[in-house]
Amino acid sequence: MRLLIVGGGGREHALAWKLRQSPEVGEIFCAPGNAGTAGLGENVAIPPNDNAGLRRFAQENRIDLTVVGPDDPLAAGLVDDFKAENLRVFGPTKSAARLESSKVFAKQIMRCSGVPTAMAGVFDDTKKACRFVEKLRYPIVIKADGLAAGKGVIIAPDAESARAAIYEMIEHRRFGEAGARVLIEEFLEGWECSLHAFVDGDRYQLLGTACDHKRLRDQDEGPNTGGMGAYSPAAAWTCDLEKQFDEKIMRSLLRGLNDEKLHFTGLLFPGLMIKDGVARVLEFNCRFGDPETQVILPRLKGDLLAIMQQTIDGQVGAMKIETDPRPAVTVVMASAGYPEKFETGKKISGLADCAKMENVHIFHAGTRRNNGDVLTNGGRVLSVTALGDSLGEARALAYEAVSKIDFEGCYYRRDIALAALPANVAGKDVPSRS
Ligand code: AMP
Ligand code: GLY
């Protein structure tokens, strides 16, 4: 089979790496890919938002299956365009992907189907929104309705910052039309957990749990990023939470979607907030997470291609997903200045050394090849994953690999998975650079 993977981050490298292992897979094309995916197949210079270009490529190159990585192409109807041409594709249609591309839509579905989530009001009028926030208890959360490159959520500690955020979004269109409508939401406390599930409309199968570290700096300080590291499984996930996830979240959601005549096919990634053993939904993503994929896929036993095919064919009920019990940890190595301004084109050293390490996977994100060198080419540069017999071992091995890699301005968090370790090993610091 000939595959096309849309996207060029660490998630897409991990998808290409896992799909490469399937005996059915022949050639893999990645649009636009990175230096990592170039080692597994062929990169093609088509941006993920070029629907017509991607469709033409798939037709001209007899692609058997296209896998969509990022959220934007899903929201822009790439899956619908492919289906209209009878091209096989993994991912939800534009209308089903509204679960991610419209936070207002997701909230309405959750409300109607009884999925536990934060209380929220919806506003497109600055004055009404400002009047509403006068009466609330702080902090509160203000969210742009649409996709805003992961930046559209603002946690306001008081009424003044809430008003400023509302003005910036509705009045000044800081996030463009994505912020023309806002949700003003109750702040939920607790710990966050990323769930990944294959969904075929009526049924779902859990692929795995993971915890992401979204803030830039250690101890969850600094601005939000796409994700600075992750581990899987979520250490505090329990059978009782899984039961809640099944009964209160997934079954209710799928019923609610079906009531709306929406058939979701693909990978659904609900982000949950858990407090005192009760799970509530923060958001739905309609695609694999980044960097969650880089810890979930190395733990997946078996054939990802077969699982994707069964999902498309509505056979999720018959599917068997087996995972490696060993935990995985990934540390994101980023360019200085990320998530704001950063430089690119810096030479990366140490990759060959790491390639020899057992149980270590280096997933490329913002990288490109240049005359035999690998150069930085984005904010998040590499996702360094390790598996271990315990979370502590996986973490130590990931940081050992990180210590071998260098590039000018390299930045990474030193506390990925640290808080999840048992107290007796949590005191150990990460290895220093060799
Ligand atoms: P979202 O894009 O909705 O996941 O929001 C991004 C991040 O903002 C989440 O991962 C949470 O850390 C935080 N967040 C979103 N909604 C809430 C909420 N209602 N209460 C507390 N934190 C939230
Ligand atoms: N790591 C969070 C996301 O992929 O949205």
Q: What confidence tier does 10 reach under pLDDT thresholds 50, 70, 90?
A: very high
How much is the pLDDT for 77?
A: 97
CATH 3.30.470.20 domain span(s) along the chain: 191-323
pLDDT at position 434: 42
CATH node for 328-426: 3.90.600.10
How much distance in Å is there from the Cα of 282 to the middle of ligand 1? 6
Q: In this predicted structure, what is the pLDDT of residue 34?
A: 98
As a whole number, mean pLDDT of residues 2-14 equals 98
At 125 the pLDDT is 86
Q: Say yes or no: CB of residue 281 within 6 Å of ligand 1.
A: no
Q: Could you tell me if the CB of 220 is within 6 A of ligand 1?
A: no
Instruction: State the average pLDDT over residues 52-63.
Output: 98
pLDDT bin (cut points 50, 70, 90) of residue 426 is low
Q: What is the percent of the chain with per-residue pLDDT over 90, rounded to a whole number?
A: 86
Give the global pTM: 0.95
Residue 166: how many other CB atoms lie within 10 Å: 25
Gap from CA of 272 to ligand 2 centroid (Å): 12
Residue limits of CATH 3.30.1490.20 in the chain: 120-186
Average pLDDT over residues 260-278: 96
Residues 6 or more apart whose CB falls under 8 angstroms from that of 396 comprise 388, 428, 430, 431
Q: How far is the CA of 106 from the centre of ligand 1 (A)?
A: 14
Looking at every residue in the chain, the average pLDDT score rounds to 94
Instruction: Give the pair of three-digit tokens for residue 221.
Output: 């300080």
Q: What mean pLDDT do residues 346-374 have?
A: 97
Q: Which residues of the chain are in CATH 3.40.50.20 domains? A: 3-93
Best residue among 12, 213, 285 to mutate for probing ligand 2, ranked by most atoms within 8 Å of CB: 285
pLDDT, tens only, 300-353: 999 999 999 999 999 999 999 999 999 999 999 999 999 999 999 999 999 999
The least confident of 5-19, 328-342, 412-426 is: 412-426
What whole-number distance in Å separates Cα of residue 363 and Cα of residue 378? 14
Q: pLDDT of 163-205, one tens digit each?
A: 899 988 888 898 888 888 999 999 999 999 999 999 999 899 9
Tell me the mean pLDDT in the region 354-371.
97
CA of 155 to the centre of ligand 1 (A): 8
Ligand 1: which residue has its CA nearest to atom 14? 282
Cβ of 378 below 6 Å from ligand 2: no
Distance of alpha carbon 378 from alpha carbon 290, whole angstroms: 14
Question: Mean pLDDT throughout 149-160?
Answer: 88
Report whether pLDDT(150) > 80: no
CATH of domain 3-93: 3.40.50.20
Return the minimum-mean-pLDDT range out of 146-155, 198-207, 336-345, 414-423.
146-155
Ligand at shortest distance from the CA of 191: 1
**Distance separating alpha carbons of residues 41 and 369, to the nearest angstrom:** 14
* 191-323 carries CATH number 3.10.20.30: no
Per-residue confidence band for 431, with pLDDT thresholds at 50, 70 and 90: low
Alpha helices (runs of H) in 246-319, residue ranges in sequence order: 251-259, 293-296, 304-312
Average the pLDDT over 117-146 and give the result: 90
Query: What pLDDT is stored for residue 179 in this prediction?
Result: 86
Whether the per-residue pLDDT at 217 is higher than 70: the answer is: yes
* pLDDT beyond 60 at 424: no
Question: Looking at the CA of 282, which ligand is closest?
Answer: 1
C-alpha 95/C-alpha 109 separation (Å) is 13
Could you tell me which of 374, 297, 251, 225 has the C-alpha nearest to residue 67? 297
CATH topology of domain 120-186: Dna Ligase; domain 1 (3.30.1490)
